[in-house]
């Protein structure tokens, strides 16, 4: 009991002093030093704990299977990935979908569409409009986090696949969001239901399409994506529920759905830590059930 009390005091002290990841770093390092890395144990750790920023790129590469857990296969896999990325970018130029001036987020997105056989079924005008896709914000987040272009491309592709799976499961995601609102804030849930704000799933789908990029700052989005890459897909509706609860006072004062949507497009930056912290707390609470 004394050890547990000491650990809790130490954790609270680190959190107050801004070092919430100190103990997580000590726990994570042995997992990453294993040969091979145990992907299941790593994912379990990430679902339950914070990921120190210094290890985030490596953790994402491992959990997204961009980098193999067996070190002896890393060089071979990296070479094959470079070949695939080079071929993809080459064919995009041959097809005249990109030029040397095309921004890399758009190149990556078109490359994903090409490799998933979606680009072949798109009309020319539709391809030209892809520079407006919210998914490009995800690519920019990845480019800010990773230095290697091949890593950037494949991490983007893996995240877009997770995002696509979440959108395919939108009815279930929406039901989970509504259930959290009913549990945490019944008056707000009733008000949003009266406004019809969640009925068609448009709001949540918009957030999922960009993985909250542009809604929350990058540092907050990274913490959400940590859970997503570890298999906690419910972190997306939980973050949506947290976003709504954090702005409950303003939302309860709004009687027009379009005004409510506009309000949620202008999240105050100082509120974002509360949004993600509440979402992670909700996730932790649900994980114990």
Count of beta carbons in the 10 Å neighbourhood of residue 236: 28
Q: Beta partners for 213?
A: 216
Domains of the chain and CATH, by start: 21-161 (1.10.8.680), 169-287 (1.10.472.80)
135-163: average pLDDT: 97
**Per-residue model confidence (pLDDT) at position 270:** 55
Q: With contact defined as beta carbons under 8 Å apart, do 71 and 78 qualify?
A: no
pLDDT at residue 60 above 90? Answer: yes
Q: 199: pLDDT confidence band, cut at 50, 70 and 90?
A: confident
Calculate the average pLDDT of the chain.
87
Question: Residue 5: is its pLDDT beyond 60?
Answer: no
Residue with more model confidence, 81 or 10: 81
Question: What pLDDT score does 126 carry?
Answer: 95
Q: What is the pLDDT of residue 272?
A: 66
Q: How confident is the model at residue 42 (pLDDT cuts 50, 70, 90)?
A: very high
- CA-CA-CA-CA torsion sign (45, 57, 272, 213): negative
pLDDT at 175 over 70: yes
Task: List the beta bridge partners of residue 216.
Answer: 213
> For residue range 224-271, what is the model confidence (pLDDT) as tens digits?
999 999 999 999 999 999 999 988 898 999 888 888 888 887 665 556
Stretch among 5-19, 198-212, 229-243 having the lowest mean pLDDT: 5-19
Characterize 97-115 residue by residue with b for buried, 16 or more Cβ atoms within 10 angstroms of its Cβ, and e for exposed.
bbeeeeebbbbbbbbbbbb
pLDDT for residue 19: 47
Is pLDDT above 70 for 15?
no
Residues contacting residue 38 through CB under 8 Å, at least 6 positions apart: 31, 69
pLDDT at 13: 43
Whether 137 has a pLDDT exceeding 90, the answer reads yes
């Amino acid at each position: 009991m004394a050890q547990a009390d000491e650990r809790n005091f130490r954790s609270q002290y680190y959190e107050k002093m801004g070092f919430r990841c100190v103990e997580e770093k000590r726990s994570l390092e042995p997992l990453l030093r294993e040969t091979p890395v145990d992907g299941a144990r790593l994912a379990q750790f990430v679902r339950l704990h914070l990921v120190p920023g210094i290890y985030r790129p490596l953790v994402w590469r491992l959990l997204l299977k961009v980098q193999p857990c067996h070190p002896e296969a890393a060089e071979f896999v990296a070479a094959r990935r470079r070949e695939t990325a080079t071929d993809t970018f080459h064919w995009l130029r041959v097809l005249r979908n990109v030029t040397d001036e095309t921004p890399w987020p758009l190149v990556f997105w078109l490359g994903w569409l090409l490799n998933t056989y979606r680009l072949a079924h798109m009309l020319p005008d539709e391809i030209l409009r892809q520079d407006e896709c919210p998914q490009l914000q995800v690519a920019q987040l990845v480019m800010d986090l990773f230095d290697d272009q091949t890593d950037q491309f494949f991490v983007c592709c893996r995240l877009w696949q997770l995002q696509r799976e979440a959108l395919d499961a939108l009815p279930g995601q929406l039901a989970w969001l509504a259930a959290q609102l009913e549990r945490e804030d019944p008056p707000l849930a009733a008000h949003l239901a009266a406004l019809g704000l969640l009925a068609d799933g448009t709001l949540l789908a918009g957030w999922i399409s960009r993985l909250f990029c542009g809604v929350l700052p990058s540092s907050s989005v990274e913490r959400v994506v940590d859970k997503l890459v570890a298999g906690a897909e419910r972190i997306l509706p939980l973050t949506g529920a947290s976003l709504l609860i954090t702005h409950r006072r303003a939302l309860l004062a709004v009687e027009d759905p379009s005004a409510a949507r506009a309000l949620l497009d202008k999240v105050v930056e100082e509120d974002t830590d509360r949004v993600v912290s509440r979402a992670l707390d909700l996730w932790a609470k649900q994980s114990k059930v």
